[in-house]
Amino acid sequence: MPFEFNTIGVDDGIAMGHDGMLFSLPSREIIANSIETVMNAHKLDAMIAIPNCDKIVPGMIMGALRVNVPTIFVSGGAMKKGYKKDGTPIDLATAFEAVGKFEKGDISENELYDIECSSCPSGGSCSGMFTANSMNTLSEALGIALPGNGTILALTPEREKLLRTAAKRICEIAKSSQETYNKFRIKNILNEKAIKNAFVVDMAIGGSSNTVLHMLAIAREAGVDFNLSNINEISKSISHIAKISPSLSTVHMEDINRAGGVSAVIKEISKRGSKFLDLSNLTITGETLEERVANATIKDTNIIHTIENPYSKVGGLAILYGNLAEEGAVVKTAGISPDMRKFKGKAICFDGQAEAIEGIKSGKVKAGDVVVIRYEGPRGGPGMQEMLSPTSLNMGMGLGESVALITDGRFSGATRGASIGHVSPEAAEGGMIGLLQDGDEIYIDVDTYEISVNLSDEEIATRKANFTPKVKELSSRWLKQYRALVTNASSGAALKAD
């Protein structure tokens, strides 16, 4: 007997730019808890999960892992790309960056309005490789979704067929023998090999930096010992072969689907022979990953490159370490121009996103600066709100190629440029980012995985001795609970349960 229930879902587009965004990442935990609650309370035998937006996907996966029944994921599908009147492809990132261009006077209000009305032309998860589409794509690599889950457009006959196929498959498993049923419990599919496979694909496509946060939390729920430091080892062995908006504004999910989809990406990167890609792992359809991608081919090498012609010989995400991020920081290298991979600049510090937005708009940030936004981590925010506005303003105001930005918060999947997030330890727990002062010299080298501040050990010790982290006043009982239980970004911002 089918039984339908819903979870909550925060729309980041509506929550962006005000304190509503503080509730976005915490909603992942509510979603996981609600899945666990209903599935256990009603003793349901199997589950078909229909997510789309970014916290919903990992929240559902986390909840499903706790319950450990056979589960298939099938998202609502990706959004079509939009077009300006001149035929230029556009999307959500275009709209946010257009605000910066308007503030600078580069475009008129009518041009801004045209972009606003055209950037999101249909239903579905925003059309680039932003966080939602990144997670829906990784669900294929994890083996818990059907081929095409991450790339087939919403509201199309192909998407409806995928949904019907997924529903039929989960019913087959639910009614199967006990041996077959046990074989397809989600933890038998989403295991250590699957986690590594997902990160391999993430590197190949240059997914959202938020995937790191979510995959660390998923690994924890799966009982897999996977640390932030493992990611660079995977990155070194995987070629970056697909650039999708926001890293390349002309390419969107529908283009990846047309060029062969995730299966073509997996098949191509398997040719490099990385020890981290294990094609023997089981998928929810009953075949191994190797069998699934056996006949996949790249249909357009301008969209999905070959391993002989990659965008980069290393993956599209990197973890940086140094005295500024002793437990790590995350950067989407796929979105950085070659001239910004090594950068040195003076810190200009803001205690929160709102302060940073005003500073950027007022012209306080100049070429050569490193914008520091702190007290936006899981605990300091609290909630680690997504920051698309500051990075989009930098881009729109022409600073994207001359200004770096670091934060203990996180970015939208639509962010591009030298934007380094998840700095851990965060300011609220006494991390170095909280000790920075305007004018401190910060050094960033993506290729050597380094982020540091040019201060002596003695100066750092002095600042630490005189430092007391700021604690924000909160009226929300839920955010108070979240702040008390959440770990930092290097642990996936998972909640402590012990």
- Coil vs helix vs strand at 399: coil
CA 139 to centroid of chain Cα atoms: 13
Residues with catalytic function: 412
**Sign for the pseudo-dihedral over CA of 184, 187, 188, 189:** positive
| Cα gap 286→180, rounded to integer Å | 10
β-strands 369-373, 404-407: how paired? parallel
- Coil vs helix vs strand at 140: helix
The DSSP string of 80-127 is PPEE-TTS-EE-HHHHHHHHHHHHHTSS-HHHHHHHHHHS--SSSB-S
β-strands 369-373, 342-350: how paired? parallel
| Cα gap 365→351, rounded to integer Å | 15
Record the tokens describing residue 420, joined without a space.
């380094």
β-strands 82-83, 71-73: how paired? unpaired
Tally of CB atoms within 10 A around 179:
7
C-beta separation of 121 from 195 below 8 A = no
